[in-house]
Structure 1
């Protein structure tokens, strides 16, 4: 081909990229394991996070090694490191969660399903070179599941996990001090299942540092026994807890003492471990799905002027029923939620995946202030398999830029494995949110 032909192709490519940057851009990272959904399950906190001008992510490769990535924001070039650490990728519970503390140290926890705590920290700030695997506090670290990091405004970290098994587990909260560079245990049993049930939670730290916690109770290993959405908040970094009306909880919180934000009976196809956020005034918003006229619908429970309210997206048409154990193959993903406020206007954006929409990455949104109808759009043109949404929470909070962790993955029901080749891990950058 002649040189001018390549020049024309380059001009066309740059033109297409320029058009894309006005809307959504997908940044390729590297190839990851895709035979189940372990890289994309909803309860990763975090899959993707930003500190100052650097964005970090983590995923498993096809051999089960933990891959760490770092890039400068606005760059498409990722620095990738294959760590010496591996996980049981055949179990989609065994996720990787990361966070960066206020001094820039990367924290990593991975490979848990009722198993020993696995945790490591970078040797230097902004480094992908991890130190040795170590303990946090030495307390209740033998049967760990669902590790989650949460950043506090003062630079410290919180670490949540379940100690014990499904249907009879307790919630642990550890706290990391950047000053002392040490972990301590704040709560050994915040949500007490009383050996009869366990809590499946989601959490949000708002801009003032208030920790919002919501959860569903599950009476057994069977997901159909999920019921109710409950709520608590802490204004001192997880030490003491209150109800939404300011009443102090006696700890631990039990099914008898928990504030019910929205009552939902068992066998309602209520899903667990979804998402929550908070507005500028510290009001919580809890995203979930459960049956409405026998069709699971994405719904948001939120606090307004001290009263719990609910809004139903109500766009789904097909029914299904949640039941059984293990990681499920479900027609829809668990949702993720962001709120954007401009003056008195509150816009809610819910990320999801739905077989009704050919399993694309989709978004449903509304202007809650004007009570406008929910509108649905697709953010990708191709199927993303059994992906669930994770977005860069720290970047959204600081810069209101929405970056989403993407990978096309499979999930066979009940912890089964598909036979699929590795697929590209990507970051979807949304440059303009719909209004």
Structure 2
């Protein structure tokens, strides 16, 4: 059912307790129970966990038995049609998330259960349907060591599919393109950003309202997250075929550490996180959200790196007070989530939302609203009163782009450090709805 909360409803910390909404206009819609023993359903890099096509919204998640479940509802309704597919995933590895997209013809595309293993991809048999095909190849090349699948819908209704080929510290960024007329995938790039066998790029991407693709990334020198460093940038204005720097100078591909445009210099050992988010303003200026610890400080802070007037700028949202350290491999148990950033397309000066979760604020769903990037001002408030565990924000990118409505995938989950799993029951999968 649909719930609007003004005060806490149930005891904090209960697995089934609804995360009560406190911000006016926020509602929470229940879907059903899902796997909660780690953060695999609620990692930031799901593209997408939720997606809208027409007046229908779709959701994907693992259930308590690690089966892939799809759901569909009409926007504005709280009634979900659910379909448990024949597919399962290694849900014990929080990297192995599910990514979902709908092409311009209405077919669902799903990729799931990837962490340096063979491609697992299927699409719906009918437009708008929840019944999937058998597992399918895409191009048949470079599909034996896939990680971090992400779909991006193009203005013509086609799709781009990003993934890493290879392992942490030695991987390359691959991009495929899907044509709705032929229902076939072709290869755009086998190695857009090359680690040269010595490192790999952990990226985040955004397609803006003009159709420009923006990609930014940190370099990692080894499987140890502490080896993350620097923030680099590229864009494409022709659907991912050719790539250039922010000043329009073309890249010679593949992009390497030596040729990449540096948006921010950040040394190794700075608690710099990987795979965050980015957006763009109405003029196509990129905005990249992340967190790291600046020299001389012990506290990692949320950071916004963005372009204004052709120059890269940085904004530190210095409201945190608690230090922590990133080190080691596997999925970490971290007291804050990676952030999602959304930039408004209205007004003369950009405003932005940064959605996050922080143990300092009781591990609630929180948002920093940046009122004017030219005169750094922000307010921080909570959208829920109850904790959401190790949840990270992912959202319906298409609904935000078309209607300016924020729909977050919401589930209270746990994460044991170093890829462990917690002994907790399933928790409720929900959608948090808010129009800022």
TM-score of the alignment, normalized to the shorter chain, above 0.5: yes
- Cα offsets for 1:5-64 (capped at 9, x unmatched): xxxxxxx999999x9895110000010000000000111100011001000010000101
Alignment of 1:399 onto 2:424: no
Question: In the alignment, is the contact (CA less than 8 A) between 1:344 and 1:369 conserved in 2?
Answer: no
Structure 2 spans left out of the alignment, 5+ residues: 10-20
Q: What's 1:351 paired with?
A: 355
- State which of 245, 258, 261 in structure 2 corresponds to 1:259: 261
Q: What's 2:14 paired with?
A: none
- Does the C-alpha gap of structure 1 residues 404 and 13 become closer, same or farther in structure 2, counting only changes over 3 Å? closer
- Does the C-alpha gap of structure 1 residues 13 and 329 become closer, same or farther in structure 2, counting only changes over 3 Å? closer
Q: What's 1:66 paired with?
A: 68
In the alignment, the residues of structure 1 paired with residue 150 and residue 233 of structure 2 have an alpha-carbon distance, to the nearest angstrom, of 18
In the alignment, the residues of structure 2 paired with residue 282 and residue 381 of structure 1 have an alpha-carbon distance, to the nearest angstrom, of 35
In the alignment, the residues of structure 1 paired with residue 347 and residue 312 of structure 2 have an alpha-carbon distance, to the nearest angstrom, of 22
Alignment of 1:367 onto 2:367: no
Task: Give the alignment of 1:369-388 within 5 angstroms.
Answer: 369=373, 371-388=375-392
Q: What's 1:40 paired with?
A: 42
In the alignment, the residues of structure 2 paired with residue 117 and residue 311 of structure 1 have an alpha-carbon distance, to the nearest angstrom, of 38
Question: In the alignment, is the contact (CA less than 8 A) between 2:116 and 2:167 conserved in 1?
Answer: yes
RMSD: 1.8
In the alignment, the residues of structure 1 paired with residue 302 and residue 430 of structure 2 have an alpha-carbon distance, to the nearest angstrom, of 25
Q: What's 2:189 paired with?
A: 187
In the alignment, the residues of structure 1 paired with residue 134 and residue 108 of structure 2 have an alpha-carbon distance, to the nearest angstrom, of 13
In the alignment, the residues of structure 2 paired with residue 220 and residue 333 of structure 1 have an alpha-carbon distance, to the nearest angstrom, of 22
Structure 1 spans left out of the alignment, 5+ residues: 1-11
Q: Secondary structure at the match of 1:89?
A: coil
In the alignment, the residues of structure 2 paired with residue 217 and residue 164 of structure 1 have an alpha-carbon distance, to the nearest angstrom, of 14
In the alignment, the residues of structure 2 paired with residue 172 and residue 255 of structure 1 have an alpha-carbon distance, to the nearest angstrom, of 17
In the alignment, the residues of structure 2 paired with residue 343 and residue 204 of structure 1 have an alpha-carbon distance, to the nearest angstrom, of 20
- Does the C-alpha gap of structure 1 residues 268 and 20 become closer, same or farther in structure 2, counting only changes over 3 Å? closer
- Does the C-alpha gap of structure 1 residues 15 and 273 become closer, same or farther in structure 2, counting only changes over 3 Å? closer
Q: Secondary structure at the match of 1:232?
A: strand
Q: What's 2:423 paired with?
A: 419
Q: What's 2:339 paired with?
A: 335
- State which of 244, 247, 251 in structure 2 corresponds to 1:245: 247
Q: Secondary structure at the match of 1:39?
A: helix
In the alignment, the residues of structure 2 paired with residue 161 and residue 14 of structure 1 have an alpha-carbon distance, to the nearest angstrom, of 39
How far the C-alpha of 1:65 sits from its partner, in A, is: 0.4
How far the C-alpha of 1:163 sits from its partner, in A, is: 0.6
* TM-score, normalised with respect to structure 1: 0.94
Q: What's 1:133 paired with?
A: 135
Question: In the alignment, is the contact (CA less than 8 A) between 1:53 and 1:72 conserved in 2?
Answer: yes
Determine which structure has greater relative contact order: mean sequence separation of CA pairs < 8 Å that are 6+ residues apart, divided by chain length.
2
Q: What's 2:160 paired with?
A: 158
In the alignment, the residues of structure 2 paired with residue 20 and residue 114 of structure 1 have an alpha-carbon distance, to the nearest angstrom, of 41
* TM-score, normalised with respect to structure 2: 0.94
- State which of 325, 333, 345 in structure 2 corresponds to 1:321: 325
In the alignment, the residues of structure 1 paired with residue 174 and residue 345 of structure 2 have an alpha-carbon distance, to the nearest angstrom, of 33
Alignment of 1:297 onto 2:301: yes
Greater mean alpha carbon deviation, residues 368-377 or residues 95-104: 368-377
- Does the C-alpha gap of structure 1 residues 250 and 13 become closer, same or farther in structure 2, counting only changes over 3 Å? closer
Q: What's 1:230 paired with?
A: 232
- Cα offsets for 1:368-418 (capped at 9, x unmatched): 255252211001110000000001110000011111100000000000010
Task: Give the alignment of 1:46-85 within 5 angstroms.
Answer: 46-85=48-87
In the alignment, the residues of structure 2 paired with residue 236 and residue 13 of structure 1 have an alpha-carbon distance, to the nearest angstrom, of 43
How far the C-alpha of 1:294 sits from its partner, in A, is: 2.1
How far the C-alpha of 1:146 sits from its partner, in A, is: 0.4
